[in-house]
Amino acid sequence: MHRPLVVGTGIAGLWSAWRLAAEGHDVRLVTKGTLEDSNTAWAQGGIAVAMDVGDSPALHAADTIAASDGLADPIAVDVLVTEGPDRIRELLGLGAQFDRGPDGALVFGLEAAHSRARIIHSEGDRTGAALVATLSKVVRAHPKIELIEEARVRRLVVQDGRVVGAIVLNVEGEPTAIATPAVVLATGGVGQLFEITTNPSVATADGWAIAQAAGAELHHVEFLQFHPTALHIPGINPAPLLTEALRGAGAWLVGANGDRFTFEADPRGELAPRDIVARAVAGRALRGDAFLDARHVADVAGRFPGVEVLVARHGLSLATDLLPVAPAMHYAMGGIRTDLDGAATLPGLWAVGECAQTGVHGANRLASNSLLEGLVFADRAGRSVSRMLTEQPRRVSSFAPAPNDGDHGPDALGADIVRAMRRLMTRDVGVLRTEHGLAEAEVALADLRAAVPEGAWHVADQLRIAALIAREARRRRESRGGHRRTDFPNPRTPV
């Protein structure tokens, strides 16, 4: 009853648990799948950090703020960029291996919208998987951390305005009550609310739903980032990412008749910023007329072996085929509103990583800042919980699960409803939004909610968050960052 509960084993959850344990606390760490199931494990790019010669936290901050389209919190950004290097050094101390040059120094890569080369990678495009492997080893070996896989948090328990625990389900759907003075949500993304997403199956917005139901504030949920080029084969979920480096190497975006349509949107064509390309692809993808053509790129399969393996699984090859693409829901900038220590607006609750809204991304995320945010704010949350446990130790009383807390099947009955929700979210609440489309989506989501079978609470939770995103997107009558209204194409000023 004195142990804090950390929920989720992506970079943010693993780091929070480790920090708490390093501060001397016993910790319970639960995750609904296995350690391999997280957005973190899929991260292909790398981590942005200002550590190279000629770079500085101030330059990194300037790029982050420019990407945020006016909505980043400069203080949160300052925390991110100044504390980032120390977290990376600590990560190295825990055994993480980042790619190094012949002289043994870290190699820093350049990415779009970064003014300096500051992206570090592990094993090329396996950064996320390598991070999870390193941190999993640390967490599994730590005597103060109890790791429970296949344990899904269903809801938080609040008494007298304070979180005092959670109801956790095992793989059979049996509920257990866990009393704790502190819950750290590190539940990751919301991509699975959309039909086309790069996020794995665990990214079902659980943290947002759980926190909101308990009374915590969510903020900026309408700001979502869509990756312009995911391989689009109906029924393949998640949609495999076709890295932007392919376009960097000269691949084209074309219609079936070979026209390079991104030039209609921007003179930089395929090399225009991510959101411009995503919008150009979105319009065409709705008609099934968007393809990535890399056939003319010299030795393309040899230069992109990871992507070649990925497309080969679907009978395609970079060297010989046009690859059907669509933009895919990729990253959520908003989330559970927190302060600089990761504390949510509800006492006893912290939120870290992608499920949190710390203020560092504003309306749009600078590429490769999310893994860094996961480290920096998870560390702060761990320290903050540690301080609370030390300075104001509190014992919480036990409680029992409610009769309807278990999960004995009704969610399966809602599978068609979830499919319909995902379809309409991609169509009406995706890359291109209008008043009409959003209003229709809200009505359709309400109809779907009315049809949810009794007891299918996870379906109901997803619909509630989907409706919230649609409502906030309709209320924001402007285009800013990841939120594009075709009927309000400009940003409002002042912010």
Ligand X SMILES: Cc1cc2nc3c(=O)[nH]c(=O)nc-3n(C[C@H](O)[C@H](O)[C@H](O)COP(=O)(O)OP(=O)(O)OC[C@H]3O[C@@H](n4cnc5c(N)ncnc54)[C@H](O)[C@@H]3O)c2cc1C
473 contacts 442 by C-beta, under 8 angstroms = no
Q: Is 358 in the site for ligand X (CB under 6 A)?
A: no
Q: 164-170 — which CB contacts under 8 Å span 24+ positions?
A: 164/348, 164/396, 164/397, 164/399, 165/5, 165/396, 165/399, 166/5, 166/7, 166/210, 167/401, 167/402, 167/405, 168/30, 169/405, 169/406, 169/407
Active site members: 274
Q: Is 371 in the site for ligand X (CB under 6 A)?
A: yes
Q: Is 482 in the site for ligand X (CB under 6 A)?
A: no
Nearer to ligand X, 180 or 198 (CB): 198
CA dihedral 427, 429, 435, 436 (to 10 degrees): 30
Q: Is 208 in the site for ligand X (CB under 6 A)?
A: no
389 contacts 4 by C-beta, under 8 angstroms = yes
Nearer to ligand X, 86 or 299 (CB): 86
H helices of 240-346, where? Answer: 244-248, 274-285, 300-303, 305-312
Q: Is 335 in the site for ligand X (CB under 6 A)?
A: no
Calpha distance 84→309 (Å, rounded): 33
Q: Which of 19, 21, 31, 362 binds ligand X (CB under 6 A)?
A: 31
CB of 431 to ligand X, least distance (A): 16
Q: Which span (42-50, 175-183, 250-258, 424-432) binds ligand X, by CB under 6 A? A: 42-50
**Region 228-247 residues binding ligand X, contact defined as CB under 6 A:** 241
Q: Which span (20-28, 41-49, 300-308, 315-323) binds ligand X, by CB under 6 A? A: 41-49
**Region 117-146 residues binding ligand X, contact defined as CB under 6 A:** 127-128
Q: Max Cα separation, the chain?
A: 68
CB of 334 to ligand X, least distance (A): 13
Coil vs helix vs strand at 185: strand
Mark 178-197 with x for binding to ligand X (rule: CB under 6 A) and - for no binding. --------xxxx--------
Q: Where are the beta strands (DSSP E) in 53-120?
A: 119-120
Q: Which span (10-18, 97-105, 142-150, 343-351) binds ligand X, by CB under 6 A? A: 10-18
Nearer to ligand X, 37 or 222 (CB): 37
Q: Where are the beta strands (DSSP E) in 195-258?
A: 218-219, 224-231, 252-254
Q: Which of 269, 374, 382, 482 binds ligand X (CB under 6 A)?
A: 374
Coil vs helix vs strand at 73: coil
- Which residues contact ligand X by CB under 6 A? 7-13, 30-33, 37-40, 42-47, 127-128, 152-153, 186-189, 198-199, 202-203, 206, 241, 331, 353-354, 368-371, 374
